[in-house]
Structure 1
Amino acid sequence: MAVLASWVWVLAGCFSAAVAEISNISAPYPPLWEDSPEQLSDYRLEDGKHTIDPWVFTDRMGMYRILLKETATYFARYGPENEQNLLWGLPMMLGWQYQTGRLADPTGMTDCGNAHEDILCVSVDSWWADVNYYLSVLPFLAAVDSQKTGISPEQITILPPPKDQMRFCYNFSGCLSAFPKTMDKWKDFFQYMQLPSSDFDGLLKKFWDAHTSSLEYPISAFVDRYDYYSDSEANFVQKWAIAIYYLTVARLPTTLSRSYSFQSCLPPRILVDTDKAPFISDFTPLQNEVLIVLKLLGYTDRLSGSLTLTIWESLMSTKVARELFLKVFEKILGTSP
C-alpha cells in the first residue's frame, strides 16, 4: 500500500509541477505540430493512394493531427478548443520521445534522428518508436475504417521501415488480420464517441482499453531493443511498461493540459549508466523521484506477482473512486477540467 500511495502522490506532483508553466502557454502543442500534415491531401499521392511514412516524424505526427481535427466535434461538449479530446495524450508522448532523443537510432550505427540532416528520421531500432507505431498506425487505420476521415482505408499506403518489415502491419486489412482485438477496440472507441448517449467516463474506458490492447504485442515483441540502451534506460523502459497498466486502471483523462503537465515528471533525455536517481544533477527533484517510484513499483509488482495491480484495480473499480483520485490533481492544480 505504501508503494501505491507513493505512486498516487508522484502522479499528483507531475500535474502540479507544470501548472505555472501551463498558465502562461496558450497552446502547448507537440513539437512540429504546425509542420505536420493536417489533412490527408497533405501527404504524397501515389497511384491514387495517400502515402504515409511513419518513419518520418512529421508524417507520424500528422496522423495524430488529423485524428484530433476529425474528432474535435465529438469532444466540443466537454470543453472549448478541443482541449478535452482524449487523443491528445498520444501526440504529446510522441513529442516527448522526439524531444528527448528516444526516436533516434540507439545503436549509433546510422545518423537516423541524430544528425541535423536526419533529425526527422524515426529509427526502427528504437524501442520507443516501435511501440508507438502500434499507438499511431493502428488507431489511425481504425479511424479511417470508421469513416472519421471520409475515405476508404484502401486509399492509404503505410510505408515499411528499412528493415524488420515483418514485425509491422501496413494497411487496414493486414492490421485487422494480425491484431483483430486491438483494431476492434479502436473502432469501438471511434464509433462510441459518435453516439448521442456517449459520456466522458465511457470514452475514457474505451480509450484506455484500446490503448492497452495496442501495447500487448509490441511490449513483448521488441524486448530485443533493450540491448541497444544503457542498463539505466533499459530498466526505465521496463518499469514504464509496467506503470502504463496502473495508469490504465486509473483512467487518467489524457487531455491537452494534463498530458502536457505529465511530461514535466519524465526524464528529459535518454538515461546513461552513470545516472543514479535521486542524484541525477540535470534532472529535477520530481524527475528523480519518479524514477525511484517507478523502480519500486516495478520491483513490487514483480515480487507480488502483480498483486499490487490487482489491489489498484480494486481501489479504482468505481467511478466515484476514480473521480476522487482525479480531484487530488485538480486540488493541487487549483483548476477544473
Structure 2
Amino acid sequence: MQRLTVLGLLLACAASLCSAAVVIENGMPILWAHTASQMTDLPIENGVLNPDPWHYLHRMSLYRLMIAATDPFMGCMGTNATDSPFWGLPLQLGWMLTSGVNYFVSALPVLSAAQNGFMGPGLQVQMQMPAGVEDLCTNYADCSARFPDAMSKWDAFFQGLKAANESPLPDAEKRDSLLGLYWTAQMASTYASAVCNARQSHYPSTEVSFAQSWLNSAEYVSAAHFQSNMAKSVLFMTPLPSRILQEGDSAPDIPDLSADENHTLSIFAWMQKANNLLGGTLVRLWGRAMCSMNTREKGKEMLEQLLLDSSFVTSSFLSIVTGMATSC
C-alpha cells in the first residue's frame, strides 16, 4: 500500500506495470474482505458519492459494488457467482497493488454504470482528484466530454446488459454479444489512457516494452470475446511477471522469474514483434478470423494454448490464424 500511495498519481494510466503474480487471497481478489459492501461505506458529500480512486480499497470497493449491482443481469454468463466478466478488473487491480493502476478501466465503467441506473436511482459519483492533475476526468459529464468514444461504448454495454436480460435469445448468443460490447468498451478505455503515455518515461524500457506487448495482447483477447470471469482471469494472470522488469531483463532467461513467467513474457513479446514486422497484419488477421461464435470459441482455446502451453509452437499460431481468416 505504501508504494501504491507514492506511485499512484504517476501510474494512474499505466496499462500493465506489474507487481505480483499472486492475484487472489482466500479465493478472492486481494484485500476483498476489507472493501465496502454498500455505498454508504464510501465517502459521500452533499449526497454525491465521492470515492478516492487513488486509495486501493476505495477503487476495489467500486469494483465490488459494480459487480454486485450488475450480477442480477449476468445470468447468461453462467451459474457461478464469479462468472461476470467484471471479475477480471479487481484481479488486475490486485496484481498491480504495489506498482500502479489503470484509472480509465476503473473510473469510466463505474461512472457509466451509475449513470445508467445500476448503482441506485439518481446516484451521482464524483471522483476525488489530487491537486494539479488535469488530464483525468472525475464525473460522468466530464468523462463524456473528454473521452466520448469510451464513455459511449460503456453506455452501450450497460444498456445492452439491460436489454439482454429481457431477450429471448439463447444464453450463448446473449453472452457472446455482451462480451463483444464489454471488450469494445474495455479497449476504448485503454485507448483513452494514451493521454498518460508521457508517464512511461519513469520506467525501465523493458517494463514499458512489456506494457506495450500487454496492450497488444488485449487486441486478441478482445476480438475473441474472452470471458474474464474469476476462474479464467486467475488462470491467465497467474503467470504474469512477479516484479517490475529492469534493464537487462531478457525473457526467457530472467533467472529470478519462474519458467511460466518467462514463457508469458516471451509470448507477449513474440506476438507484438510479429505484428509489428507484418505492419499490423497479424492483429487484423486475427480480428478477421474472429468472425463468428464458432471461430471465437476456437480463438479462445488457441490463446490458452499459446499463453499457457510452452510446447505450443508459435509458427502453428500464424498458420492457423491465416487459415481461419481466409475461411470467414
- Are the aligned partners of 2:251 and 2:262 in contact in 1 as well (CA < 8 Å)? yes
| Structure 2 CA distance for partners of 1:161 and 1:325, relative to 1, 3 Å | same
After TM superposition, list the pairs within 5 Å mapping 1:164-203 onto structure 2. Answer: 165-195=133-163, 196-197=166-167, 199-203=174-178
CA RMSD of aligned residues (A): 2.4
- Are the aligned partners of 2:144 and 2:151 in contact in 1 as well (CA < 8 Å)? yes
1:240 and 2:214 are equivalent in the alignment = yes
The one-letter code sitting in structure 2 at the alignment partner of 1:134 is F
| Separation in 2, partners of 1:282, 1:251 | 34
1:295 and 2:269 are equivalent in the alignment = yes
- Are the aligned partners of 1:28 and 1:260 in contact in 2 as well (CA < 8 Å)? no
After TM superposition, list the pairs within 5 Å mapping 1:58-207 onto structure 2. Answer: 58-98=57-97, 101-103=98-100, 129=101, 132-153=102-123, 155-163=124-132, 165-195=133-163, 196-197=166-167, 199-207=174-182
The one-letter code sitting in structure 1 at the alignment partner of 2:113 is A
Which of 256, 259, 271 matches 1:282? Answer: 256
Shift of 1:27: 5.8
Q: Name the stretch that deviates more: 287-296 or 205-214.
A: 287-296
- Are the aligned partners of 2:127 and 2:139 in contact in 1 as well (CA < 8 Å)? yes
Shift of 1:57: 0.5
| Structure 2 CA distance for partners of 1:320 and 1:77, relative to 1, 3 Å | closer
| Structure 2 CA distance for partners of 1:307 and 1:282, relative to 1, 3 Å | same
- Are the aligned partners of 1:92 and 1:260 in contact in 2 as well (CA < 8 Å)? yes
Give a deviation string over 1:218-252, Cα, whole Å, max 9, x none.
1x222212211112111111211222112111221
1:311 and 2:285 are equivalent in the alignment = yes
Runs of 4+ in structure 1 off by over 6 angstroms are none
| Structure 2 CA distance for partners of 1:271 and 1:81, relative to 1, 3 Å | same
> Does the residue aligned with 2:35 lie in a helix, a strand or coil?
coil
| Separation in 2, partners of 1:264, 1:26 | 12
Shift of 1:81: 4.2
Normalized against structure 1, the TM-score is what? Answer: 0.77
The one-letter code sitting in structure 2 at the alignment partner of 1:87 is F
Give a deviation string over 1:136-167, Cα, whole Å, max 9, x none.
111001000110011325x322101243x211
- Are the aligned partners of 1:53 and 1:60 in contact in 2 as well (CA < 8 Å)? yes
| Residue in 1 that maps onto 2:27 | 28
Shift of 1:190: 1.2
- Are the aligned partners of 1:75 and 1:82 in contact in 2 as well (CA < 8 Å)? no
Shift of 1:303: 2.2
| Separation in 2, partners of 1:292, 1:327 | 19
| Separation in 1, partners of 2:155, 2:162 | 11
| Separation in 1, partners of 2:301, 2:71 | 25
Task: Using the aligned pairs only, state the percent identity.
Answer: 29
| Separation in 1, partners of 2:291, 2:99 | 34
| Residue in 1 that maps onto 2:323 | none
Q: Which has the higher contact order (CA 8 A, sep 6+)?
A: 1
The one-letter code sitting in structure 2 at the alignment partner of 1:41 is T
**Gap runs ≥5 in structure 2:** 1-20, 310-328
| Structure 2 CA distance for partners of 1:305 and 1:327, relative to 1, 3 Å | closer
The one-letter code sitting in structure 2 at the alignment partner of 1:188 is A
Give a deviation string over 1:35-86, Cα, whole Å, max 9, x none.
1122211112222222100000011111110111011112235433422101
Shift of 1:312: 0.9
| Separation in 1, partners of 2:58, 2:25 | 25
Give a deviation string over 1:179-218, Cα, whole Å, max 9, x none.
2221121111112112221610011100001001111121
| Separation in 2, partners of 1:175, 1:39 | 24
Give a deviation string over 1:123-145, Cα, whole Å, max 9, x none.
xxxxxx2xx11111110010001
| Separation in 1, partners of 2:76, 2:215 | 33
- Are the aligned partners of 2:221 and 2:300 in contact in 1 as well (CA < 8 Å)? no
Which of 254, 272, 290 matches 2:228? Answer: 254
- Are the aligned partners of 1:49 and 1:156 in contact in 2 as well (CA < 8 Å)? yes
The one-letter code sitting in structure 2 at the alignment partner of 1:325 is G
> Does the residue aligned with 2:27 lie in a helix, a strand or coil?
coil
| Structure 2 CA distance for partners of 1:78 and 1:27, relative to 1, 3 Å | farther
